[in-house]
Amino acid sequence: MARLALLCTVALLAACDRHPNSGGAVDLENPLEIAARERGLVHNPSADPSGVLERRHDLGRDVMCIVPDGQDEWRFVLSASFGTELTCSASGGIGREGDSWRLAFSGHDGCELVVYEEGDELRLPGTFPEQCEKLCSDRVSLRGLRLPRASWSADDARRLQIPDNRGNMGTPCRD
């Protein structure tokens, strides 16, 4: 009886090792994986920043939409809230720079920032060049802003409603 139990235990342990561990590799051709990437449920491993970044907090909502704007080019709209009366909105172009992204702000000649991704969060630097000093009013700033990823979908970004500087809601990333 003990031999039978030992034999059953060895057989069960051997059965556990039938499928080798893939080391976490994802089959990018799997139809479920493709569908999830198309719907923005999981990150597409390509270098495409399209989607929605959003953070809600006690003072309001910080949000950014990014949509394609040509071959390897994207445009963005960003709005940060600092209470009911104070917001900062900006827009421009975004492009890849090594492992980071470069934001070029429209209407502010030479105002460009290198921003970093840490996990699923986009981080703006704590210091800005002099050309970016007038992005926001004197009482607010985008310095050090952190925006967690809410979606990798360009369609979600196009539908996203963002308040303008007067508080009116719009869909600025719509084509």
Domain over 46-170 is classified CATH 2.40.128: yes
Residues in the chain: 175
- Cα(first)–Cα(last) distance of the chain, in Å? 74
Ranges of each domain in the chain: 46-170
By C-alpha distance, which of 50, 61, 108, 112 is closest to 86?
Answer: 61
For residue 171, pLDDT over 90 is answered with: yes
Average pLDDT over residues 138-143: 89
Predicted confidence (pLDDT) at residue 34 exceeds the cutoff of 90: no
Residue 154 CA, distance from chain mean position: 11
Please compute, for residue 68, the number of CA atoms within 13 A of its CA located in the half-sphere on the CB side. 9
pLDDT in tens, 41-62: 665 545 789 999 999 999 999 9
